[in-house]
Structure 1
Amino acid sequence: MIKIAMTSVYVDDVAKAHAFYTDVLGFETRNHVDLGDGTLFVTVGAAGAQGDVELLLEPGQGPIAEPYRAALREAGLPVIVFSVDDVAAEHARLDRLGVRFTQGPEEQGPVITAVLDDTVGNYVQLMQSVAK
C-alpha cells in the first residue's frame, strides 16, 4: 500500500509560515531543523492526528516555485485543501483571529468550502463533506 507521507507548500517566509500554520490554523510542529545559513526544514501536521502525514513549509523562492505560485494566486486557486468538520465554525474562528478570506463558506455540490490567505503567498481551501 502506498500512502502520502509528506507534501509541501511553497511559502514566502518559513518562520512566518510556521507561526501561522501552528498558532493560527492549529497544526503541530513535527520537525524544526536549522540547516545552517538561515535555512530551516520545518514540517507541520494535524494536531494529535495523522502522525504519518506532514506538510513541508518549503522556501518559495526560485525559478520553479515563483511562477507556479504566482499563476495559482492570479487564478485565485488554493495551493492545498484542508478537511475540517465544520467550515462555518472554522471560518468564524479564523475570522475572529483576523484571517483574510477570499471566499466565505459556500456549498459546492457534495462539499462546503471556504478559501483563506495564509499570509505567506498562498490561498488555502477549507473543505467539509456534506452528507446527502
Structure 2
Amino acid sequence: MRIVLTSVLVDDQEKAQRFYTDVLGFLPKADVPMGEHRWLTLVSEDDPDGVQLLLEPDAHPAAKPFKAALVRDGIPCTSFAVDDVRAEHKRLVKLGVRFTQAPVTMGPVTIAVFDDTCGNLVQIAQQH
C-alpha cells in the first residue's frame, strides 16, 4: 500500500491552481472537468510521477467550518518538505506570501506556516 493522492480543500480551484503552480512551483498533472468542478491535481517538479495533490473544492457543508476551525487554531492542513525552510520562506515572502509563523527550529526540524490564499494554513518543513 502506498499514498498516491492527497487533497487540500480550496475555496476556488482556479485561484488555487495559480497559487500552487505560479507561487509554490507545483506542476499540473490532471485537469478533468467534473460538472461544476474539476479533478485538478498537481505534482512536485522534483517527482512528477509521485504523489498527486488534489485541489479539491470545499463545497461540502462540513468543509468550510472545518477549515475555519483549523485556521482559527493556527493548525496547518498539510505540510510540504523543503530543503531549506529559511531560503524558501525568504523566496515566498518576496512573492507576497503571508506567513503566520516565521521559520522556527524545534529539535530535528525547522518549520514555517503560511496562508495559501484559499482558506488554509500550510506548513513547510525541513529535516536536519
| TM-score using structure 2 length | 0.95
Instruction: State the secondary structure of the residue aligned to 1:93.
Output: helix
What amino acid is aligned across from residue 58 of structure 2 in structure 1? G
Residue 60 of structure 1: how far off its partner (Å): 0.8
Could you tell me which residue of structure 1 aligns to residue 73 of structure 2?
75
Q: 1:85 aligns with which of 70, 83, 88?
A: 83
The equivalences for 1:28-43 within 5 A come to 28-37=27-36, 39-43=37-41
Could you tell me which residue of structure 2 aligns to residue 121 of structure 1?
119
CA–CA distance in 1 between the matches of 2:103 and 2:96? 16
CA–CA distance in 1 between the matches of 2:111 and 2:85? 7
What amino acid is aligned across from residue 4 of structure 2 in structure 1? A
CA–CA distance in 2 between the matches of 1:125 and 1:50? 21
Instruction: Render the CA deviation track for 1:45-75: whole Å, top value 9, x for unaligned.
Output: 1114151310100001222212211111111
Instruction: State the secondary structure of the residue aligned to 2:93.
Output: helix
Residue 127 of structure 1: how far off its partner (Å): 0.0
What amino acid is aligned across from residue 21 of structure 1 in structure 2? Y
CA–CA distance in 1 between the matches of 2:65 and 2:96? 28
What amino acid is aligned across from residue 56 of structure 1 in structure 2? L
Same amino acid, percent of matched pairs:
51
Across the aligned residues of Structure 1 and Structure 2, the Cα RMSD in angstroms comes to: 1.1
The equivalences for 1:46-61 within 5 A come to 46-49=44-47, 51-61=49-59
Residue 34 of structure 1: how far off its partner (Å): 1.9
CA–CA distance in 1 between the matches of 2:117 and 2:127? 26
Instruction: State the secondary structure of the residue aligned to 2:17.
Output: helix
What amino acid is aligned across from residue 114 of structure 2 in structure 1? L
Could you tell me which residue of structure 2 aligns to residue 15 of structure 1?
14
| TM-score using structure 1 length | 0.92
CA–CA distance in 2 between the matches of 1:51 and 1:108? 31
Could you tell me which residue of structure 1 aligns to residue 92 of structure 2?
94
Unpaired segments ≥5 residues, structure 1 = none
